[in-house]
């Protein structure tokens, strides 16, 4: 099963807060049937966010929730129409968001490997630029799936 699909991509998300972004992307994950309990999943993401911000710098955030309410490992992507405050490491507002949904029973450290693989890739300016500019959703999906393939098959 693909970790990210076209339905999980929003290239024009209008939001004014972290919660709004998480809710909107969470709805996309729910819409393709990968959540058994929407509220339960959203709570797990917001609880994680309260521990420390998942704003990793470069205008990017990777909020995530590992929860019994998730049925399969999923990544949703959003480009925000206007950047929002995320208490990021470099204090820059966020414009690119990856929301991760990981089942409790997920074998091993799958979600950690996804974050690790994404993080490494995000250092590269050309990758970030594509995230910010690609207009074709399918192209974006394929690029992200390719990036994560190595991390997940292990």
Partner 1 sequence: MKLAAVTACPSGVAHTYLAAESLEVAAKKNNVEIKVETQGSIGIENELTPEWIKEVDAIILTNNIGIKNEERFKGKPIVRISAGDCINKADAIIKKLMEKLG
Tokens 């959203």 correspond to what residue? 42
Closest approach of Cβ 7 to partner 1, in Å?
A: 25
Interface residues with partner 1 (CB under 8 A)?
A: 51-52, 54, 56-57, 62, 89-90, 109, 112-113, 115-124
With respect to partner 1, which residue has the nearer C-beta, 51 or 135?
A: 51
Does the active-site annotation cover 111? no
Closest approach of Cβ 78 to partner 1, in Å?
A: 17
CA distance 115 to 136: 23
With respect to partner 1, which residue has the nearer C-beta, 6 or 120?
A: 120
Structure tokens at 137: 């959703």
Residues 6+ apart with CB under 8 A from 79: 10, 11, 12, 13, 95, 96, 131, 132
Catalytic residue among 64, 69, 111, 124: 64
With respect to partner 1, which residue has the nearer C-beta, 117 or 134?
A: 117
Give 102's DSSP letter.
E
């Amino acid at each position: 099963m693909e970790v990210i699909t076209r339905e999980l991509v929003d290239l024009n998300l209008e939001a004014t807060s972290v919660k709004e972004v998480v809710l909107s992307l969470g709805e996309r994950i729910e819409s393709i049937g990968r959540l058994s309990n929407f509220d339960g999943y959203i709570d797990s993401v917001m609880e994680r966010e309260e521990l420390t911000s998942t704003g990793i710098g470069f205008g990017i955030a990777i909020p995530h929730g590992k929860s019994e309410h998730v049925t399969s490992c999923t990544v949703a992507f959003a480009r925000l129409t206007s950047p929002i405050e995320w208490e990021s490491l470099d204090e820059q507002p966020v414009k690119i968001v990856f929301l991760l949904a990981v089942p409790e029973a997920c074998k091993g450290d799958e979600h950690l490997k996804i974050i690790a693989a994404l993080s490494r890739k995000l250092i590269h300016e050309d990758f970030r630029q594509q995230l910010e500019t690609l207009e074709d959703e399918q192209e974006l999906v394929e690029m992200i799936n390719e990036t994560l393939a190595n991390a997940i098959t292990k």
